[in-house]
Amino acid sequence: MYDERDERFHPHHETHTPQAGLAAAQPVAAHAAHPHGATVPPQTGSAFTALLPSLQRAVAEEGYTIPTPIQTQSIPHLLNGRDLLGCAQTGTGKTAAFTLPLLQYLTQQKRAPSRGRPRTLILAPTRELAAQIGDSIRVYGRHLRISHTVIFGGVGQHPQVAAVTRGMDIVVATPGRLLDLMQQGHIRLDAVEVFVLDEADRMLDMGFIRDVRKIIAALPAKRQSLFFSATLNSEVITLARSMVHDPVHVTITPEQPTVARIAQKVLFVEKKDKDALLATLLRNPQVDRVLVFTQTKHGADKVTRKLQAAGIAAVAIHGNKSQNARTQAMGGFKTGRTRVLVATDIAARGIDVDGITHVINYDLPNERETYVHRIGRTARAGADGDAISFCCAEDRDYLRDIERLLRQSVPVDMQHPYHSEIARHATGVAARPPPRGGGGRPGAGRSTFASRRHGGSFGSRR
């Protein structure tokens, strides 16, 4: 069992709560030495002041002046070469927390990368997240001469092979395509100086554990390792222990997971009325840029067809879509051509779009943590946002579980034409999804959450 007191695993443990603010960060040891030879003096004030002027300029051009808690707590340690174990949820700014120190290290320790042997590897579970990390590297590294490429499946490999063959400072990859290129001899990992594993829990949920272990085995023993996960169950901790050495441990708000600027509410509704309720909400022009979550790929497609039939610009994104379709869907949503994006949870990893006004849970998630990940897509960069959840009778226990995590009730909105008192008061068998194929109900995943709760150089863009 994972024990936060185990000093052999993380002797430097920091946590943050919203009430503590930036003052929760601990001072960095004076003149700590970077394992690759650099030294960073102790820093005071904003973590951004420790960055090179070219990086500070890029950050300012993106409109960011105050680092987020994970950036405040991580950047100084990563600049000093420490391994890091970070437990942070969506929207905390973790991409920038590792990207900025990584870019600084590669600039200060400049040398030409060898053909097919990247200096840095960032591993991500989905194509969307890998592309998003690549975008962050491009944005924050715009004033530097750092080469990077993103490789993932679902598209032809020849441009990716050509890129890694030229020699890249940074490779951002998904596990499957990376292993393909390794097995074909196009890429070797023996020159990696910094390894970042992002969203480790989702990596395991998607069945990538064997692929991840193969990739770790191909890395040199001497490296800096950064490990990020939104949750820390025993399997995640076991993987982390195989990867990091003497890490700084940073945990960001697991007890107070929701953003204060998000207005949450739940609408009780019969399952058959969900489509009509969604269309009713979307007739409000203030419901401007909307991310809708469904439990299944089939459900995402069905909801999208219904909305399109009602004249609402909507597109679905999930794992069965081709990479080209997913890229077009994201592009249309980011530019505002598409008002509504309907997504499954796995596909939504990597969606980092400013200006999402509403998150709508068409289906409540069967793991209460996922609720936090979902609603964190709105109210970013200081903006306000709304999170609206539909709850039919069979989802009632999911809602109760979410409220236990939040330690508060989600406000109920009964002022809509499809309000259901049956759903609101459902208990027992009626409050759970029906069994599938005679087996246990899919909601059994909620019980796994209880088992999931437990208590150098380097990043997530806010």
29/356 Cα distance (integer angstroms)? 40
Give me Rg for the CA atoms of the chain. 22
Using pLDDT thresholds of 50, 70 and 90, give the confidence band for residue 30. very low
Q: What is the pLDDT of residue 417?
A: 95
Across the chain, what does the average pLDDT equal? Answer: 82
Helix axis angle for 274-282 and 297-309, nearest 10°, is: 50
Helix (H) or strand (E) holding 302: helix 297-309
Neighbour-count burial of 113, counting CB atoms closer than 10 A to its CB (0-12 exposed, 13-18 middle, 19+ buried): buried
Residue type, 406: L
Q: What is the pLDDT of residue 293?
A: 96
More confident residue, 6 or 425: 425
User: Please, are residues 173 and 130 in contact by the beta-carbon 8 Å criterion?
Assistant: yes
Cite the residue boundaries of each domain of the chain with CATH code 3.40.50.300: 12-252, 262-431
- Residue 411's CB: how many other CB atoms inside 10 A? 9
Instruction: Answer whether residue 450 shows pLDDT above 70.
Output: no
pLDDT of residue 380: 73
pTM > 0.85: no
**Cα–Cα distances in angstroms (integers) from residue 204 to residues 198, 211, 232, 278, 382, in the given order:** 11, 10, 11, 33, 32
The class that CATH gives domain 262-431 is: alpha beta
Q: Is the pLDDT of residue 360 over 50?
A: yes
Task: Classify domain 12-252 by CATH number.
Answer: 3.40.50.300
pLDDT tens per residue, range 129-151: 898 899 999 999 999 999 999 99
In this predicted structure, what is the pLDDT of residue 135?
92
How far apart are alpha carbons 45 and 170 in whole angstroms?
29
| Residue 321 to residue 251: CA distance in whole angstroms | 34
pLDDT digits (tens, 9 = 90+) for 258-271: 567 789 999 999 99
pLDDT at 356 over 80: yes
Neighbours of 100 (CB within 10 A): 32
Reported as a pLDDT band with limits 50, 70 and 90, residue 6 is: very low
